[in-house]
């Protein structure tokens, strides 16, 4: 059996229910599977991912952890459904999508987005850069049909 590799993108740097659930799910992957967690980092809080990183290492010792910068404006939009400035929002989204190239995701068999904050940018990345692996977008909340999230339903 060949080894499968999975890049798991968490929705938040904080240890919450969705993050606990995702880490727990990865402990059920077949033995020999490679798991790499990507945790978003917001510049406003340098120690934000400490508890989550410790939890991952405690529960899934075979997993690796990496970090990626997540624009605070995008993180805030998903929390408040408020659009700060459309051009700044589009610029931040484009910066994130093109920044995902640094993660070398084409080397993975699976890319798993654990929520909507990372799901949409990863979905765009997979389309723009022709990802050939399996992409899993775990919808933890259904996006609204209006506003920015209305684009998701149109894409499908």
21-78 tens-digit pLDDT: 999 999 999 888 999 999 999 886 768 899 999 999 999 888 999 999 888 877 766 5
Answer yes or no: are the C-beta atoms of 66 and 58 closer than 8 Å: no
Nearest-angstrom CA–CA distance, 42 and 48: 8
Task: Pick the closest to residue 44 from 25, 21, 71, 18 (CA basis).
Answer: 71
Judge if pTM exceeds 0.75: yes
Quote the DSSP letter at residue 102.
Answer: G
In which residue are the tokens 């599977």 written? 33
Report the DSSP beta bridge partners of residue 110.
6, 134
pLDDT tens track for 115-142 = 888 988 999 999 889 999 999 988 766 6
What pLDDT, on a 0 to 100 scale, did the predictor assign at position 84? Answer: 58
């Amino acid at each position: 059996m060949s080894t499968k590799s999975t890049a798991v993108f968490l929705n938040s740097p904080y240890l919450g229910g969705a993050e606990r659930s995702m880490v727990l799910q990865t402990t059920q992957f077949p033995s020999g599977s490679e798991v790499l967690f990507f945790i978003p980092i917001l510049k406003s809080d340098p120690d934000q991912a400490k508890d989550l990183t410790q939890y991952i290492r405690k529960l899934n010792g075979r997993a690796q952890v990496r970090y990626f910068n997540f624009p605070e404006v995008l993180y805030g939009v998903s929390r408040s459904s408020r659009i700060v400035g459309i051009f700044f929002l589009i610029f931040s989204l484009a910066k994130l999508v093109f920044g995902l190239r640094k993660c070398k995701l084409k080397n993975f068999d699976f890319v798993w987005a654990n929520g909507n904050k990372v799901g949409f940018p990863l979905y765009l990345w997979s389309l723009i850069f022709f990802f050939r692996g399996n992409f899993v977008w775990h919808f933890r909340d259904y996006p609204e049909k209006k506003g920015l999230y209305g684009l998701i339903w149109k894409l499908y």
